[in-house]
Amino acid sequence: MPTSVILSLSALLSMLPASLLPFGQAAGRERLFWLLLVPAIVGPTAWVVVQMYGRWYADLSGALWVTVAATMVLFAGLSLIVPASRRLAPLLLPYLVLLGVLATVLRPIEAGPFPGTVPGLWTQAHIVMSVMAYALLTLSAVSGFAVFLQERALKRKQPTKLTRLLPAVAEGERLQIGLLVLAEILLGLGVATGMAVNWTKGGGVLALDHKSILSIIAFAVVLALLLAHWLTGLRGRMAARLVLIAFLLLTLAYPGVKFVADILLG
């Protein structure tokens, strides 16, 4: 069995207990939360370190595992700073497990490392900024979806087992906006470093490809949402929908483009 498959299965197994914890009777035990979250972080991170140390494979499977690892690390940091964010786990962790399953099924293609003659510093900066922005927007989208579910349950006066596990509407909105601000900053830096990468390759300031265009549109959507929130107090389900739209755009720009290249055209 290839090493990449063994690592993928190990990472998946490390994530399963943490993803199931919120739905168990011990959901409120903080010590158990951290006890299970640590291996859930180590598994995907170990995959990224072992498979990509000293190189960058631009395939779909690698992109998904990088996304999972970055989101898990940021979720752990957020949980330390804002305890209420731990209640995103019932939505976030199963979603990340699903991404891990897709990454395992869509095994890495045996392609060479990231091509081109771009200076390593700019390339690495662009990758880090883009991955962190996408991970933060993932967390914000999950917060927005939690707000959407909570508001719908309140409107119907029918809370569910799931909504009882999620953050309250006010907590979810605060998380959503705070994460959006950070995501917007890193997304802007990602676009800027991408321009620098393209410039050093002699391709002009902006590459008119799907990834760049979708990233810029996502940046504009998030900026419009933040401005509307600060100027008009936009919140609730409308804000959550806009966050999900921005997340979809960035998903199409990042793993979506790789899916087309590796699966549909590969």
CATH code for position 105: 1.20.120
Residues 187 and 138 in one domain: yes
- How far is Cα 86 from Cα 44, in angstroms, rounded to an integer? 19
Domain boundary among 88, 115, 142: 115
Residues 193 and 96 in one domain: no
Domain range holding 259?
Answer: 124-266
The predicted structure's pLDDT at residue 195: 80
Residues 108 and 178 in one domain: no
Residues 133 and 265 in one domain: yes
The predicted structure's pLDDT at residue 107: 66
* pTM of the complete model: 0.89
Residues 140 and 243 in one domain: yes
Percent of residues, the chain, with pLDDT higher than 90:
47
Residues 152 and 254 in one domain: yes
Residues 93 and 134 in one domain: no
Domain boundary among 67, 94, 115: 115
The predicted structure's pLDDT at residue 26: 56
Q: Is residue 120's pLDDT more than 80?
A: no
- The predicted-structure confidence for 136-164, as pLDDT tens digits, reads as follows 999 999 999 999 999 999 888 888 889 99
- How many domains in the chain? 2
Residues 164 and 247 in one domain: yes
Residues 108 and 141 in one domain: no
- The predicted-structure confidence for 243-258, as pLDDT tens digits, reads as follows 989 888 888 887 776 6
Residues 262 and 132 in one domain: yes
Residues 128 and 172 in one domain: yes
- The predicted-structure confidence for 188-246, as pLDDT tens digits, reads as follows 998 888 887 777 766 666 666 777 788 888 889 999 999 998 998 888 888 888 898 98
Query: Among 76, 80, 105, which Cα is nearest to 93's?
Result: 76
Provide the residue count of the chain.
266
Residues 182 and 245 in one domain: yes
Domain boundary among 60, 94, 115: 115
Average pLDDT, the chain: 84
- How far is Cα 22 from Cα 158, in angstroms, rounded to an integer? 20
DSSP assignment of 65-82: HHHHHHHHHHHHHHHHH-
